[in-house]
Amino acid sequence: MRVFTLILAAVLLIVGCASQPASTPAPTSPAAAPALPTATLPVASSPEPTELSPTAAPSIAPSPTVAALPASCEPTSSMTEGPYYTPNTPERTSLLEPGITGTRIVISGYVLGTDCQPIPGALVDFWQADDNGVYDNVGYKLRGHQFADASGRYTLETVVPGLYPGRTRHIHVKVQAPNGPLLTTQLFFPGESQNNTDSIFNPALLLPVQETNDGWAATFDFVVESAR
Ligand code: FE
């Protein structure tokens, strides 16, 4: 019986080995591998790598430079209106137009109440002499009003005014909060020798002028009484 069992086991082992599926070894020879039809692949079917175009990249707009609000808000000094104000000026933030010559200057800032809070919608009305110190008393050249935006800011683009006899360099302006009293004042320029001889010059109204790549720039915050 033991001999028969051994024989049977041997027979089964032989039969089992013979009945195993022939495992075909993977071809190891390069010659046996199927040739890749790289030369016949249509180029169009190969997806091109996606390149990010400059416009596809998310653009992050630089934050606009916003001057910090002052901690103390004394009302801006008033000054004389002078003889050259014309009412009903056009609404515009730029007084530049064909025929206007001179050094470009951008003046910007807040209109604030005495509580140091911005006043959206405040009226700001500028007028000034041209580059030769001459006012347009017939039309509206270098005259224009605007309203402070939702954050209480205004921006004026104009030219540096010229000098005229008896006065130092200046820009006239009226500022008024909605339903508030009207402030009439003037803005002055640093470094003017006439600042020392103009009897109404006020250093508190000096523009902190800086040179830029495109002219001059200055910031000035107006503080006015408001109805709130
Ligand atoms: Fe003037």
Stretches in the chain below the pLDDT threshold 50: 1-64
Q: What spacing in Å lies between the alpha carbon of 200 and ligand 1's midpoint?
A: 11
What is the CA(149)–ligand 1 centre distance, in A?
27
Question: What confidence tens digit (pLDDT) does each residue in 27-39 have?
Answer: 333 333 333 333 3
pLDDT digits (tens, 9 = 90+) for 145-198: 999 999 999 999 999 999 999 999 999 999 999 999 999 999 999 999 999 999
Ligand 1 centroid–CA 225 distance in Å is 24
Tokens of 68: 């910090």
- C-alpha 9/C-alpha 3 separation (Å) is 10
Beta-carbon count within 10 A of 40 CB: 6
Confidence (pLDDT) at 146? 98
104-222 homologous superfamily: Aromatic compound dioxygenase (2.60.130.10)
